[in-house]
Amino acid sequence: MLNSNVKYTTATLCQQQLQLCIAVQSFLISHCAVNLKTMSSVFPTLVLALAVALSTSGAGAAYVNNWDEPFQYQCPEGQVLRSVLSVHSNSAEDRRWMFTCGNAPSGASPSTCRWTDDYVNTWDEPISFMCPPNYVLAGVESYHSDAAEDRRMKFKCCKDPEYKTFSCGMSPYLNSWDSILTYSVPNGKVLVGWFSVHSNQAEDRRHKMIYCYYRQ
């Protein structure tokens, strides 16, 4: 007999692995220019194997957080956020997050940094955050409330005094309720802000990213 206190069922774990499988496919396509739709006809277990390896390689090995747990992620000095990936659990009503960092465009090295003084949102309220002018995103901090089934977030912004942000824009929503989120910063651009809205019905957030060109 199954223990009713077990929070995450086999079905939930299978759903999470399928979500991660799709997310890995998206990441490989965007970062490696690999056509996995073609490859999967030759190697049908490739993507699933990658997803399972990531999800079972150790607690938090592929993610910066476990369900309901806080996290703080920051890029190495001089680097900036280059991609974001997230999966949602209906059981936990929370998201796990992955980030990657990389060099800023045009040889910039944003090393003068500051964290936001406080969390930029309250429970269930929108996030509408932008770094100060000419600063770029290089870190994220968050904690979860089981009562609100939501997260509050802080951000780390960095600048290179010789570089400026310009011609900024905002992505469309990157996820539907309860679904995968993947985003890679376009070449020549940097992340400078984050927008999201919360649904009490879905107990999830939909997210947009704010980006700018960046050069001397």
| pLDDT bucket at 20, cuts 50 / 70 / 90 | low
Separation CA 157–CA 191 (nearest Å): 10
Q: What is the pLDDT of residues 54-77, one digit of tens each?
A: 433 333 337 999 999 999 999 999
Go through 52-65 and write b for each residue having 16 or more CB atoms within 10 A of its CB, e for each that does not: eebbeeeeeebbbb
Strand, coil or helix: what is 146?
Answer: coil
Strand partners, 213: 166, 189
Strand, coil or helix: what is 68?
Answer: coil
Structure tokens at 141: 């901090």
pTM, two decimals, is 0.74
Share of the chain above pLDDT 90, in %: 71
pLDDT above 70: residue 46 = no
φ/ψ region of 2 (left if φ > 0, alpha if ψ in -120 to 50, else beta) reads beta
Q: Hunting for tokens 């939501």 — which residue is that?
A: 150
One-letter identity of residue 17: Q
Q: Summarize the confidence of residues 79-93 as an average pLDDT.
A: 96
